Amino acid sequence: MQKTQLLLISLLCAVPVMAQPSAPFQNAATGRSYPTLQKAVDSIGDDEGTIIVAPGTYRQCAVQTEGVVAFRAAIPGQVVFDGVTCESKAALVLRGQGASVDGIIFQNMRVPDANGAGIRLEKGDLTVTRAIFRNSEQGILTAEDRSASIRIDQSTFSGLGRCDRGLSCAHSIYIGGYGSLTVTSSRFERGNGGHYVKSRAARVTISDNAFDDTRGKETNYMIDLPNGATGSIVRNIFVQGASKENYSAFITVAPEGRQQTSAGLAINANEASIAPGVDRQTIFLADWSGDRIALGGNRLGRGLKPFERR
């Protein structure tokens, strides 16, 4: 028996440990691999290309200044960018013609101005699929590009946001003045402050998502459209938790002033409730725009009033 145990131990010790490759970032078009993400991005230049990232945890970041770049995990969910930002902004700072991100995890992003994000989008279109943003000050933060669109699908935002230290609040998603924002089949949970979705985009499509605030801490709105928006908010599930900085509404339209129309914004077929054990009265939709909003067909739990004009 002892000889057998020694043999097994010897065999286990002989199994090679799979090291992270020395050049884990591959330009799919050329087949060439690079030791840093930035060099892989630079290899695409003003062209259109895909960077395939090998499984691993990386303390790296990159800035895209031109071209259209797709960042794709070789195995979705096994690529992690951890705690390193470029320009004191984000793991990916994007200001090229467009970008996409597929299957990548972003975590532990913090910067001096408390807006550390997985992705900072400064111009161009962006598509995010099967990504995870967690335990950071912000998930996605953007500037303004009225000619561009953002699409987020099958992604998770967890442990994000903050509203402290006398600094501007951070949010799970904060979209600047973009042409459109689409968020589908995604999950928002465990916010640490701010809003789950804050968007100044002219048009929004927010559908088939889950907003679970039961473990949130000092959070605010589920969806904030501070300047108004057209489009739709449909088939989402919302649960408001106990720890709120502001529990006065689930969804807000134009609380910072009507700068664009919200006429025809459809908010229907959603489910909203307050977490068990939490006794309060609140509003599902608070509207400052004065526009005609198509509100109806939502299933609201106890303590929820459908609408309030403010």
Q: 24-65, pLDDT tens digit by residue?
A: 999 999 999 999 999 999 999 999 999 999 999 999 999 999
Task: Classify residue 13: in a domain, yes or no.
Answer: no
Task: Classify residue 12: in a domain, yes or no.
Answer: no
Q: What's the residue count for the chain?
A: 310
pLDDT at 8 (0 to 100):
36
- Name which of 154, 274, 262, 128 is nearest 199 in CA terms: 262
DSSP helix/strand/coil, 8? helix
pLDDT at 13 (0 to 100):
40
Query: Residue 44 belongs to what H/E stretch?
Result: helix 37-44
Task: Classify residue 19: in a domain, yes or no.
Answer: no
DSSP helix/strand/coil, 3? helix
Q: Can you tell me the distance from the alpha carbon of 211 to that of 189, in angstroms, rounded to the nearest whole number?
A: 6
What count of other Cβ atoms lies within 10 Å of the Cβ of residue 234? 17
- Name which of 223, 98, 187 is nearest 149 in CA terms: 98
Task: Classify residue 42: in a domain, yes or no.
Answer: yes
pLDDT digits (tens, 9 = 90+) for 266-302: 999 999 999 999 999 999 999 999 999 999 999 999 9
pLDDT > 60? residue 11:
no
Task: Classify residue 201: in a domain, yes or no.
Answer: yes
Predicted confidence band at 10 (pLDDT cuts at 50, 70, 90)? very low
Predicted confidence band at 21 (pLDDT cuts at 50, 70, 90)? confident
How many structural domains are present in the chain? 1
pTM of the entire predicted model? 0.93
Predicted confidence band at 20 (pLDDT cuts at 50, 70, 90)? low
Q: Can you tell me the distance from the alpha carbon of 276 to that of 37, in angstroms, rounded to the nearest whole number?
A: 45
pLDDT > 60? residue 15:
no
Task: Classify residue 203: in a domain, yes or no.
Answer: yes
Average pLDDT over residues 254-277: 98
* Structural domain that includes position 109: 36-309
Task: Classify residue 23: in a domain, yes or no.
Answer: no
CATH number for the domain including 115? 2.160.20
Judge whether 258 and 227 are in contact, CB under 8 Å.
yes
Strand residue runs (E) in 159-270: 173-175, 178-184, 187-189, 197-199, 203-207, 210-212, 223-225, 230-234, 237-240, 249-253, 266-268
